[in-house]
Amino acid sequence: MKKIIVTCLLLLSFFICAAGFAADVNAEESANGKPSGGMIGLKGKKSYEMINPEGYEGYWLEKAEGKLILSVTPSEEDGWYEVTIARKDKLPKMDVYLMKAHYQKDGSMYYENGLFVSRKINKNGTVKDKVKYRNGSGLLYYSFDENVLYWTDYTKKPQENVKLFIRTAAPESEEEKE
């Protein structure tokens, strides 16, 4: 019985020491003074990283179905970004989210001025928007671990309305297709 207890204690101390060692490795700094990332390959063990505001700029494609495209462009106001989310294929009628987001200290982009419209494009090219709601709020957040951009709309069932996007090239314009 003593041998079993001693063996259990030895195993327990081994696991505690291993966890402490992993934490020490992750805390090490590289030659340039930045965290080294430590135990490469262990998910959740790397140092905390934040995307800079310019890292959000560009086009993002919905990961699950590929039907939505999200674009982020700098606004004329310093520190603000225009965000548009719409269907990838231009349909005569589609839902469009329009918002102006601000970069936060935690590395996310937050908006509270979102506009959700049902957009109709007539055959002659004119656009008519029917507002579904104003003053929507939500969050964009980039995950380095998963290499995806999360979008959460707080206005309509936030727990059910989280979409993942991956970086993509700019969509083709109608002139380029011809």
pLDDT in tens, 76-112: 998 899 999 998 877 788 899 999 999 998 999 999 9
Q: What angle do CA 55, 97, 170 make, to 5 degrees?
A: 45
CA distance 76 to 64: 32
What is the predicted pLDDT for the residue at 2? Answer: 53
> Which residue type, as a one-letter code, is found at position 137?
S
Residue 154 near residue 137, CB atoms below 8 Å: yes
Q: Would you say the pTM of this structure is higher than 0.85?
A: no
β-partners of residue 118 are 95, 130
**pLDDT averaged over every residue in the chain:** 74
pLDDT single digits (tens) 149-171: 999 988 877 677 788 999 998 87
What is the predicted pLDDT for the residue at 173? Answer: 56
- Which of 1-5, 47-51, 137-141, 153-157 reaches the highest mean pLDDT? 137-141
